[in-house]
Amino acid sequence: MDPKTVRTSQKAGLPPGTLVHVGEKRSEMVRISVMHFDADTFEEKELTSPEECANYLKSPRVTWINVDGLHDVEVIEKLGTYYDLHPLLMEDILHTIQRPKAEDFEKHIFMVVKMLCLGGDEGRIDSEQVSMVLGADYVLTFQEKRGDVFDPIRNRLRSGKGRIRKMGADYLAYALIDAIVDSYFSVLESLGERVEELEEAVVGTPEREVLMRVYALKRDLISLRRSVWPLRELISSIERSESTLVKAGTLLYLRDVYDHTIQVMDTIEANREVVAGMVEVYLSSLSNRMNDVMKVLTIIATIFIPLTFIAGVYGMNFAYMPELEWPPAYFAVLALMAAIAVVMLALFKKRRWL
Amino acid sequence: MDPKTVRTSQKAGLPPGTLVHVGEKRSEMVRISVMHFDADTFEEKELTSPEECANYLKSPRVTWINVDGLHDVEVIEKLGTYYDLHPLLMEDILHTIQRPKAEDFEKHIFMVVKMLCLGGDEGRIDSEQVSMVLGADYVLTFQEKRGDVFDPIRNRLRSGKGRIRKMGADYLAYALIDAIVDSYFSVLESLGERVEELEEAVVGTPEREVLMRVYALKRDLISLRRSVWPLRELISSIERSESTLVKAGTLLYLRDVYDHTIQVMDTIEANREVVAGMVEVYLSSLSNRMNDVMKVLTIIATIFIPLTFIAGVYGMNFAYMPELEWPPAYFAVLALMAAIAVVMLALFKKRRWL
Amino acid sequence: MDPKTVRTSQKAGLPPGTLVHVGEKRSEMVRISVMHFDADTFEEKELTSPEECANYLKSPRVTWINVDGLHDVEVIEKLGTYYDLHPLLMEDILHTIQRPKAEDFEKHIFMVVKMLCLGGDEGRIDSEQVSMVLGADYVLTFQEKRGDVFDPIRNRLRSGKGRIRKMGADYLAYALIDAIVDSYFSVLESLGERVEELEEAVVGTPEREVLMRVYALKRDLISLRRSVWPLRELISSIERSESTLVKAGTLLYLRDVYDHTIQVMDTIEANREVVAGMVEVYLSSLSNRMNDVMKVLTIIATIFIPLTFIAGVYGMNFAYMPELEWPPAYFAVLALMAAIAVVMLALFKKRRWL
Amino acid sequence: MDPKTVRTSQKAGLPPGTLVHVGEKRSEMVRISVMHFDADTFEEKELTSPEECANYLKSPRVTWINVDGLHDVEVIEKLGTYYDLHPLLMEDILHTIQRPKAEDFEKHIFMVVKMLCLGGDEGRIDSEQVSMVLGADYVLTFQEKRGDVFDPIRNRLRSGKGRIRKMGADYLAYALIDAIVDSYFSVLESLGERVEELEEAVVGTPEREVLMRVYALKRDLISLRRSVWPLRELISSIERSESTLVKAGTLLYLRDVYDHTIQVMDTIEANREVVAGMVEVYLSSLSNRMNDVMKVLTIIATIFIPLTFIAGVYGMNFAYMPELEWPPAYFAVLALMAAIAVVMLALFKKRRWL
Amino acid sequence: MDPKTVRTSQKAGLPPGTLVHVGEKRSEMVRISVMHFDADTFEEKELTSPEECANYLKSPRVTWINVDGLHDVEVIEKLGTYYDLHPLLMEDILHTIQRPKAEDFEKHIFMVVKMLCLGGDEGRIDSEQVSMVLGADYVLTFQEKRGDVFDPIRNRLRSGKGRIRKMGADYLAYALIDAIVDSYFSVLESLGERVEELEEAVVGTPEREVLMRVYALKRDLISLRRSVWPLRELISSIERSESTLVKAGTLLYLRDVYDHTIQVMDTIEANREVVAGMVEVYLSSLSNRMNDVMKVLTIIATIFIPLTFIAGVYGMNFAYMPELEWPPAYFAVLALMAAIAVVMLALFKKRRWL
């Protein structure tokens, strides 16, 4: 999720529509799994080759084909042939640094969204591109790697509970997007915890390492916003497209996802304002520390410098210094020094430096 | 009202429309109270079970059903059945971290607003979600807990004074929103007092604790804005919806609430600019303090360092130092030292350091 | 004009349209004055009771009724009855913390503007709400207190010079708004002078008090903007309303006022940018001062610390220190010390610290 | 071009359309010059009185009347009578602090633009208001004083080269605006040079005077933007007005001026970002300087303070101090002192303070 | 790509449409190369004079004429005659500081884009203006100098692979723009590397030179944005123009380029936010350094100042100082001094200054 890792020059110069996988290379096998259902029947299968998809093309039931892994370009190409996908659409599936967007190709709607999950250590956020093709009675999903947030949906499909098997492909697509947006909330929660931790750290221990963590958090918020913000537009553009692929009933649900997206954005923005304030607190903590250091130096120095001067005076070797001969002089001078120190400390106390 | 407390991952993965209460858990009984009236009659009752609502369904009079407490999901569900509420609508009622919004379900308009009140200590702001369903002749309101800002409206209904009993359900809904917006003004007042207090504190005592209070205030202003800002949109969307549920006469009153909302926003923005300036003042106070400390150190040091040097010179043990033998030398040196100190002080005075 | 003084909780809970005066309480008598004119005739009168207004209701001439003082709610109510004012309109007249706005009530247009004038001391800005009702052949104006910027218009009406008596009520309303906008320019002028003064003060004497004045100025600019900015919208909404109350010829004049408003906004914004820069200059002045203090300390300390060390060395009491016996040693050491001081000073000169 | 010099309170209270010259007062004679031409003929004349303009009113050729000097209000009034100018239009001509704008009066289009040129010293920018009235076959231009950027256009008219004599009044008006926008580029160039100079100064000599020059530059950029920005709107409003006074062919040329305006704005904005960065560089230069001063103080102090302490120890007068009697002790102590100094210096070197 | 180098005053005063080359002067020969093709045939030729272009005018195949070098104004003029280019269009081709834009001249569409490539040293960005004229069956491209990013397209044309030879001139124009946008990604990559380098440098070595590099990077990002941002508008304006020159199929591809442009903008904005944070980190690094210096000074000074004072006391020459005679006094005092030092160090450790 680093803004710096946009490395698409690998593709520069190739003709548009050339299918090249741009993203992290993986070696696992590409996995194709199918769910084929209507209100009454349900079938689940893992395909060994993309050719098997052909069986589902003419079925009146809803088909959900999920592809895990994009490095085998041929798989995408074959699916593309069966489902008549535009070369630019396939290119976008493989090009995993897309911005979330929706495009209406009449026969089907193409959507790109970002699925976020928390990385193992230090709460770093992992981002994975999920491309979706929504047709009249099918949904194709393409993920970069195995592991996703769709298991609750799979379970609902298997159990046949709720609306999901009764409604069409558009409702399934909605449910998938909804699952992804729901997962943003847990990412936000973890970011919220980091914000809380840092708020304390920034006041208690204004070390450079804390500042670095503040900036890391800030950058995570920026990238999170980059994933979430275009979702609003995505949903609006589906609403506006008036595509017959999305039924009126489903639009209401999409509107609900839209509201969630706004809520996520709202929380991100609020966190960003908090984080922006943190840098100021950090800098003022630094200044405060400097002030503390200066105060100690000043107190010590201003007390002892005059005393040392007095000692210096009576260390002079003049032949005629009457005080030196006065027997109690030494103790008188010591008393004078103590008095000066006490007065000084009282002054500092009054100025609230102690 | 903390941006960090968006904790909805409790719901992640559940099918949409699942009724789960998201928010602070409470143990009080859910209370359902009904007001049933027209210009001439008025009836007030506390219901023991949601089933009793059925009695009011076919009445030509206006019915206001208020529910205090959302943790008993069944109550909401039953009301939902009587009044034909969409599952997503009921989900939103229970999900108490909604952003204020209005949705037109044709049969009724659904509205979510935030009711703010001042917490007991330190002027913290408590936020409570109020959901409203406005139908042709009924208003349903759902609150998280007992205690609200609607008592003046109840009294007006009971006494039958003013327009409120003569006009329909839409006017009642307007009156409720108006009461909530009015309550924002008292919250603003309390914030205004905190702003005034802090403005003095920031100049007088630039301690870290003051900065923390400035940031707390800033955050309260951000959350206040998050509650108020979407209200504008809410009212505009009702106006634009051209729903037959809201009569032309009531629109004029809604426009008035709209103006109040703008006024609240205006005051929030003005306060935010003032608070933004406070941080700068705080930082410059810190710098000023540092300057003061430095000045004292510099004055003490620059006066005594040269004097100590002179004392050091006459403390040297050279065999041949002619001054040492000159009888008035000691007093001459003391006089010289005093003269140097006076000149220094005069210079500092001139530079305005004293 | 302080953002903090929005104190409307006095009204919270009252039914909308309740007539309560919100604003500074005054004890003067409410004054009602009438001007009644057409191109050829002119009549001016001070009314003793609002009932006398009835005389002017059916007249074909233009009537201007001006009310100074809002604390006598009955006066407003009676006028409201004669001129058929909506309760919300009357509420807005009494509620003196309105944002400038225009509302079209078909029979008449209601406008709220802010009249600004310079307070007696330190150039503080006083703000007063002026509400206007423009009907087919009358203009009602409501002011919080006596004293306004309309005298030149009264004089033009009395003398019958210029267009003002020949044109209708809409031109009179325009002329009143124009007079108010013109008065903003003199407020701006006074602010401009304060900007100039502060620009010098901020460089010359970076004291806290100067910073406080910078922030006071900043806040005055914010409130000024709050009075002026909505005026643009006010005029646009009149233009868009296509009300028959405003004739085409007058629209051209309104457009002119609109241009003036933009000019005022422009100057406010430019001043705000200048003031924003001032805080930076102030902070850099503080830093500069600190630098100066540090330099003096460093110069004194770095010159005398080595010299004092040398004096310390020859103050040691070792039995065998050959230099001590060498007769010219004392003078040699003094010369060495002088040389060191000269070299140091030369170095500082080179580094431009002197 | 100072935001503070908006002094229009001279006019406050006068009826709209009153002709009063607002601006710098001048004593030169008002000069009226006429160019009268079509593709084949060309006539140039300096008029002695505005009455002579009447000769050109009915001519089928294009007439360009240029007025230098606005202080003689009668001249403007007479021209206004001949060309049927609206009183508000004439008022705007005389009121030289207009914002650039275009207004369509059907018979003619009125435009106000700002002509900028570099003042004699220190690259200050002089601003002069040029008002234009574009009719079917005439262009009137009003300038505050003699001297403008229109000489190349006059020469093209005299020589009859290019399109300018063949096309109508609208093309002439375009050519005049184009000449003014072209002159902005040379102003930008001079500002660019000041930016370059200051970029070096801010790093090399972080003196207050440099900061003052940075702010002067910033303010010049603000005022430049205030002259240029409204030009976009001016041109758009002419395009949108669909006035028959501007032919389709000329619109293409206006579009070209529009592009230039955007280019000027772009460069201004880029320069503003550079200047904003300068203040940060300046402040960091100040900090750097402080750091340098502190380092010298610290190095000197930390080396000599321990040494002085050692000297002090052996300056003590205890009766029994065995080291004092040891003959090589003095030299051993000197060696120890040297060793300490060397170690300290090495440490500082390691910390990169030297 | 420096905002300061807008030097167009060379042209000020010339009539619009005058063909003068504004930009860096070059001495190479202007090179004109032609590609002439349809799906089956392909011809490539380097022309020796612009007159040869006439041969391609009436051909039904697609013609791509590329001109490298703009300093020979005659070449442009002749091409302009053959292809009926508007004088303003030709002026824009020669004026190489255009903002990217598209203009619809009905017969053809004129586009200006910026081609960026990395300069030899230090990753500076070179910008070159590419002007394109898209007609029914021809594309004209004008570049400032030889060397471009179009070689992959030339190779695809030569080999006849892919769509490019089968589709019309509009697809060729799209392919050229796509190649330019693709090249932005490699520029972004190089900027990303500079960002990474500087992120480390800013923490490790807060030297002025690092700050200068941060500002250079910031300025490069600003200029990059200035090249990319208007491209969005360019593509939208082509889409909106509904020109028959661009076929529906090609619009889909243009939409794809549009998405890439947004992606580039997104990455630029993210990098800008990172760079903005760097300045803060740099300033806090400076503060940290200062703190470190202060701490060392304070530790050394606060330890030795009291010790030196004690030594001074026992260096006084009073006749009666009982401690001096006590034999172990010297060692007792040394022990006391050591104890004081140890306590001080322990205190500093506790305060975390060590």
CA distance E175 to E165: 11
What are the backbone angles phi and psi of residue B311, rounded to the nearest 5°? -60, -40
Q: Which residue is associated with the tokens 């000041």?
A: D194
Q: How far is the C-alpha of B264 from the C-alpha of C261, rounded, in Å?
A: 24
Point out the least confidently predicted range of A66-80, B139-153, D194-208, D312-326. D194-208
> How confident is the model at residue E64, as a pLDDT?
95
**Residues A28, B239: Cα–Cα separation, whole Å:** 56
Rounded CA gap, E203 and D317, in Å?
A: 52
pLDDT at B105 over 80: yes
d(CA A303, CA A301): 5
Q: Do D301 and E305 touch (CB under 8 A)?
A: no
Name the average pLDDT for chain B: 86
Which pLDDT value is given to residue E46?
Answer: 92
The order of strands in the sheet holding D31-37 is: D42-47, D31-37, D62-68, D138-143, D125-134, D109-118, D101-104
Instruction: Give, in degrees to the nearest 5, the angle at Cα E26 between E23 and E29.
Output: 130
CA of E135, closest CA in chain D: separation in Å? 19
Query: What pLDDT score does D1 carry?
Result: 39
Which domains are seen in chain B, by residue range? 3-284 (3.30.460.20), 289-350 (1.20.58.340)
pLDDT at residue number E174: 94
Q: Compute chain D's Rg from CA coordinates.
A: 34
Say if D215 is an interface residue toward chain C (CB within 8 Å). yes
The minimal CB distance from D317 to the residues C301, C313, C317 is found for: C317
Task: Indicate the residue of D182, D189, D277 with minimum beta-carbon distance to E7.
Answer: D189
Q: Which of E253, E294, E320 sits opposite A327 (nearest CB)?
A: E320
Q: What is the DSSP letter of C99?
A: P
Q: What is the pLDDT of residues E312-352, one digit of tens each?
A: 999 999 888 888 888 888 999 999 999 999 998 998 888 87
The Cβ of residue E79 has, within 10 Å, a number of other Cβ atoms equal to 21
Residue of D9, D220, D305 for testing the chain C interface, max C β-carbons within 10 Å:
D9
A-chain residues near E156 (CB < 8 A): 15
Mean predicted confidence (pLDDT) in A27-41: 89
Specify the pLDDT at position A286: 79
Put simply, the answer to whether A15 touches E291 (Cβ < 8 Å) is: no
- pTM over 0.95? The answer is no
Provide the pLDDT for residue C6: 43
Mutate to test the interface with A, among E200, E317, E323, E326 (most CBs of A within 10 A): E317
Q: Using CB atoms, which residue from D178, D189, D263 is nearest to E9?
A: D189
Distance CA B86, CA B104 (A): 11
- Taking 50 as the threshold, does the pLDDT of residue A2 lie above it? no
User: What pLDDT, on the 0 to 100 scale, is given for residue A213?
Assistant: 87
D57: contact with C, CB 8 A cutoff: no
Helices marked H in B205-247: 208-241
Question: C162 touching D, CB under 8 A?
Answer: yes
- pLDDT-based confidence at residue B13 (cuts at 50, 70, 90): low
Amino acid present at E181: V
For chains C and D, CB pairs below 8 A equal: 167
Q: Does A286 touch chain E (CB under 8 A)?
A: yes
Residue B195 with chain C: CB contacts under 8 Å: 4
Give A64's contacts (C-beta < 8 A, 6+ positions apart).
A34, A35, A36, A138, A139, A140, A141, A157, A169, A172
From the number of C-beta atoms within 10 Å of its C-beta (0-12, 13-18, 19+), residue C298 rates as: buried
CB B115 within 8 A of CB B109: no
| Confidence at residue D199, expressed as pLDDT on a 0 to 100 scale | 85
Is residue E96 within 8 Å of residue E129, measured between CB atoms? yes
Q: Does A203 touch chain B (CB under 8 A)?
A: yes
- Interface contact flag, C330 B320, Cβ < 8 Å: yes
Residue D69 is given by DSSP the state -
State residue B1's pLDDT score. Answer: 39
Choose between D277 and D14: higher pLDDT: D277
Kindly report the three-state secondary structure assignment for every residue of A145-201: CCCCCCHHHHHHHHHCCCCCCCCCHHHHHHHHHHHHHHHHHHHHHHHHHHHHHHHHH
User: How far apart are alpha carbons E130 and E234 in whole angstroms?
Assistant: 14
pLDDT at E354: 67
| Sequence-distant (≥ 6) Cβ neighbours of residue A94 within 8 angstroms | A19, A20, A21, A22, A23, A70, A73, A76
Helix (H, G, I), strand (E, B) or coil at E346: helix
What is the phi-psi region of residue D15: left when phi exceeds 0, alpha when psi lies from -120 to 50, beta otherwise?
beta
- Locate tokens 């005299």: which residue? D158
Task: State the average pLDDT for chain A.
Answer: 86
Residues B23-36 have a mean pLDDT of: 82
The better pLDDT of the pair D145, E141 is held by: E141
Structure confidence by residue, pLDDT tens digits, E85-117: 998 899 899 988 888 999 998 899 999 999 988
Closest CA to C212 of B281, B279, B271: B281
Closest chain E C-alpha to D303 CA, distance in angstroms: 9
The proportion of chain A whose per-residue pLDDT surpasses 70, expressed as a percent, equals 93
**For the residues D19-24, what does the mean pLDDT come to?**
75
Residue B263, chain C, CB below 8 Å: the answer is yes
- Could you say which DSSP state residue E143 is in? E
Whether the ipTM is more than 0.85: the answer is no
Distance of CA A12 to the CA centre of its chain: 28
Phi, psi angles (nearest 5°) of residue B154? -55, -45
Chain A hits for B317, CB-CB cut-off 8 Å, are: 317
Higher pLDDT, B108 or D97: B108
Contact predicate A47/A32, CB 8 Å:
yes
Q: What are phi and psi of C19, to 5 degrees?
A: -90, 105
Cβ atoms of B94 and B76 within 8 Å: the answer is: yes
Q: At what angle do helices A329-350 and A248-313 cross, to 10 degrees?
A: 160
- Averaged pLDDT score across all residues of chain D: 86
A324 and E CB contact within 8 Å: yes
- The contacts of residue B154 (CB under 8 Å, 6+ apart) are B35
Contact with chain A for residue B4, Cβ under 8 A:
yes
Considering Cα of A336, then A339, then A344, then A347, what sign does the dihedral take?
Answer: negative
CB–CB contact C285 D208 (8 Å):
yes
Give the pLDDT band (50/70/90) at residue A22: confident
Tokens linked to C23: 């604003």
Neighbouring chains of D at 3+ CB pairs under 8 Å are: C, E
Q: Which of C174, C177, C170 is nearest to C148 (CA)?
A: C177
Going from the C-alpha of A235 to that of each of A227, C225, D14, D162, E271, the distances in angstroms are: 14, 37, 56, 55, 27
**Interval B88-101: pLDDT, tens:** 899 899 988 888 99
Is C237 part of the contact surface with chain B (CB cutoff 8 Å)?
A: no
Q: How far apart (Å, rounded) are the C-alpha atoms in residues E249 and A83?
A: 19
| B322 contact A CB<8A | no
Q: How confident is the model at residue D227, as a pLDDT?
A: 87
Yes or no, beta carbons of A263 and B98 under 8 Å apart: yes
How many CB pairs below 8 Å do chains A and E form together? Answer: 170
Distance (Å, whole) CA A291 – CA B289: 8
CB contact under 8 A, E252 and A88: yes
CB E177 within 8 A of CB E111: yes
Question: Tokens standing for E8?
Answer: 């167009």
pLDDT at E275 over 50: yes
Q: Give the closest-approach CA distance of A292 to chain B in angstroms.
A: 9
pLDDT at residue number E123? 65
* Banded model confidence at residue E243, pLDDT cuts 50, 70, 90: confident
Q: What percent of chain D has pLDDT over 90?
A: 35
Question: Taking each helix axis from N to C terminus, what angle separates B248-313 and B208-241, rounded to the nearest 10 degrees?
Answer: 160
Residue B344 CA to residue E101 CA, distance in Å, equals 69
pLDDT tens, A313-354?
A: 999 998 888 888 888 889 999 999 999 999 989 988 888 776
Question: Could you tell me how far CA C210 lies from the centroid of its own chain?
Answer: 18
Q: What is the pLDDT of residue A124?
A: 75
Cβ-defined contact of D192 to E226 (cutoff 8 Å): no
List residues bridging with E130 in a β-sheet.
E113, E143
Cα A213-A216-A221 angle, rounded to 5 deg = 125
Give the pLDDT of residue C176.
Answer: 95
pLDDT of A66: 95
Measure CB to CB from residue A305 to each of B9, B17, B300 and give the nearest one. B300
Quick: pLDDT tens for B279-311. Answer: 878 877 877 777 777 788 888 888 899 999 999
Instruction: Please say whether the beta carbons of B131 and B112 come within 8 A.
Output: yes
Q: Alpha-carbon distance B83 to B138, whole Å?
A: 9
Tens-digit pLDDT string for chain C (354 aa): 344 344 455 565 677 767 777 777 666 788 999 999 998 999 999 998 888 888 888 888 999 999 998 888 888 999 999 999 998 899 899 988 888 999 998 899 999 999 988 776 666 788 899 999 999 999 999 999 888 889 999 999 998 877 889 888 999 999 999 999 988 988 888 888 888 888 888 877 777 788 888 888 888 888 888 889 899 889 988 888 888 899 988 988 998 899 999 989 988 988 888 888 888 788 778 777 777 777 888 888 888 999 999 999 999 998 888 888 888 889 999 999 999 999 989 988 888 776
> What is the rounded distance in angstroms from the CA atom of residue C305 to the CA atom of residue A221?
53
